[in-house]
Structure 1
Amino acid sequence: MSSPNLRFSVANTAARLQTSYLERPDSIEGTEARRILAELRKSAAREFGTDPLALQLVLSVLTPTLSEGEIGRGDAPSPSESAAYYALTLFAAHMQSATTPAHTEDRSFARACGRLHSISDSASLKPRFDAMQTARDETSRLLHLRTLVSLLRNKKLAFDYGAFAHDLRSLQNPTRRDGVLLRWGRDYAVGMLRPSQQDEQLSDNEPTDLPAASS
């Protein structure tokens, strides 16, 4: 059985689509990237499972494909399939009318939210992030995530969609959920610091190799 592949696959796919969309808009690749992102955005507006073609689209776009251990076997999507679906549909929403990257491996999702807090005059951002953290179910959490991604898009703040997909998969595991949310809370606080202070925190607070999760 091949090793888990979700994080790399989502990051590589986001980078490929982003490069074609931003740097080669008039090429065949750019046209195809716009089409794929538009289809993914349509899926983002629907509840997962209501569109039978949505998962098929996500799995067909992923390059490389998910590993054998991450692909579902039955009638329900696997945790990795769900995570890839939500990460890429949110990425597509983030890329709507974009002129700058939405995906970067230099900043985590929560750190991007902290950075948004530091440059925003909105008093509602921290309560939104807290509501996402304390959501009682995944449907509510994803609703808050969509709002936060929209706010990040408005301020042209990118984050690592590969690591984000990994975290979305871990959030489906009750034994790992609290650890992810704790790390997100820490990253949010670090993101609020000045860039020089963030550099001092990086080695202690951001693991370089996230542990693999099954399926």
Structure 2
Amino acid sequence: MTSDLDPTHNKELSARTAELSDAVGTSVVTLQAQFLGSRGERQQAQARGRLAVLRRSAGFTPEQHPLALQDVLDALDPALRQEDLGRGDAASPTERAAFDAMTLFALHMQSATEPMHVRGRSFGSAMSLLRSRSESGSLKPRFDALLAARDQRSRLTHARSLITLLRGEKIGFDYGMFARDLRTLASPHRAGVLLRWGRDFATPPRRSPEGTSSDSAAASALPATPSA
């Protein structure tokens, strides 16, 4: 039997998390474009309904909301490999990562008027940008609590709370990367993800010559919707 400590298995896991990142990233770009109205009123209404269902599942488990998991799996493009699907009555780690990323994305998009999926910006970098805009002294302790959480459900509870703050400041991040990180956190090598999040949080956003955050400038430069 292989383990996540085996180099061959680790390489395979890396390839599969990259596939998960692509699938979630493609799916949220489509949902985002539909929600923001660039695909027509009919698709906008459908996206609003789908995101409302997913949003109500944010913070829960796939087992608690099996219909939402079904909706997530149906939305993924491309679909998950057979070997990444769960067996029996429990969701697989990959299914959980996709479910958590997409339900939190739905929470992030609530009442949004601009993209909250921003390609290339990590969760930690988004939190760093929020920190640069906030005068609250509680933000770092809240982020530290996420990094120190002993289990995935506690970590996601903290992430859900922080994402509501990001939503309030209209700061987005890359949900494909986030799904990949959540899947990696389910393996013994999770420390690397937490290290990256902590490093990104501690790195101040770069400033352009005009004094505008380069992270914000990069986000605005990204296309809000992909070509169909």
TM-score range, shorter chain: 0.7 to 0.9
C-alpha displacement of 1:76: 1.5
Answering whether residue 190 of structure 2 is matched by residue 177 of structure 1, we say yes
In the alignment, the residues of structure 1 paired with residue 58 and residue 38 of structure 2 have an alpha-carbon distance, to the nearest angstrom, of: 25
In structure 2, what residue type is equivalent to 1:110?
A: G
Deviations 1:65-121 (A, max 9, x none): 112332223322111100000000000000000011110113111100011001111
Answering whether residue 20 of structure 2 is matched by residue 6 of structure 1, we say yes
Equivalence map 1:70-81=2 (5 Å):
70-81=84-95
Match of 1:115 in 2: 129
Answering whether residue 146 of structure 2 is matched by residue 127 of structure 1, we say no
Answering whether residue 205 of structure 2 is matched by residue 193 of structure 1, we say yes
Asked whether the 8 Å contact 1:9–1:63 carries over to 2, the reply is yes
In the alignment, the residues of structure 1 paired with residue 59 and residue 65 of structure 2 have an alpha-carbon distance, to the nearest angstrom, of: 10
In the alignment, the residues of structure 1 paired with residue 207 and residue 25 of structure 2 have an alpha-carbon distance, to the nearest angstrom, of: 24
Match of 2:76 in 1: 62
In the alignment, the residues of structure 1 paired with residue 196 and residue 30 of structure 2 have an alpha-carbon distance, to the nearest angstrom, of: 28
Match of 2:174 among 160, 168, 181: 160
Moved more, 51-60 or 11-20: 51-60
In the alignment, the residues of structure 1 paired with residue 145 and residue 52 of structure 2 have an alpha-carbon distance, to the nearest angstrom, of: 28
C-alpha displacement of 1:143: 0.5
Match of 1:207 in 2: none
Asked whether the 8 Å contact 2:108–2:163 carries over to 1, the reply is yes
Structure 2: gaps (5+ residues): 1-14, 215-228
Percent sequence identity over aligned pairs: 51
In the alignment, the residues of structure 1 paired with residue 33 and residue 76 of structure 2 have an alpha-carbon distance, to the nearest angstrom, of: 15
In the alignment, the residues of structure 2 paired with residue 85 and residue 46 of structure 1 have an alpha-carbon distance, to the nearest angstrom, of: 9
In the alignment, the residues of structure 2 paired with residue 107 and residue 23 of structure 1 have an alpha-carbon distance, to the nearest angstrom, of: 23
Match of 2:66 among 32, 52, 57: 52
Match of 1:23 among 32, 37, 45: 37
* TM score, norm. by length of structure 2: 0.80
In the alignment, the residues of structure 1 paired with residue 190 and residue 129 of structure 2 have an alpha-carbon distance, to the nearest angstrom, of: 23
Deviations 1:136-191 (A, max 9, x none): 111111110001110000000010000000000000002x111110011111112x
Q: Secondary structure at the match of 1:115?
A: helix
In the alignment, the residues of structure 2 paired with residue 136 and residue 196 of structure 1 have an alpha-carbon distance, to the nearest angstrom, of: 38
Match of 1:37 among 47, 51, 57: 51
Asked whether the 8 Å contact 2:59–2:100 carries over to 1, the reply is no
Q: Secondary structure at the match of 1:89?
A: helix
* TM score, norm. by length of structure 1: 0.85
Moved more, 23-32 or 150-159: 23-32
Q: Secondary structure at the match of 1:50?
A: coil
Q: Secondary structure at the match of 2:84?
A: coil
Q: Secondary structure at the match of 1:110?
A: helix
Count of residue correspondences: 196
C-alpha displacement of 1:195: 3.2
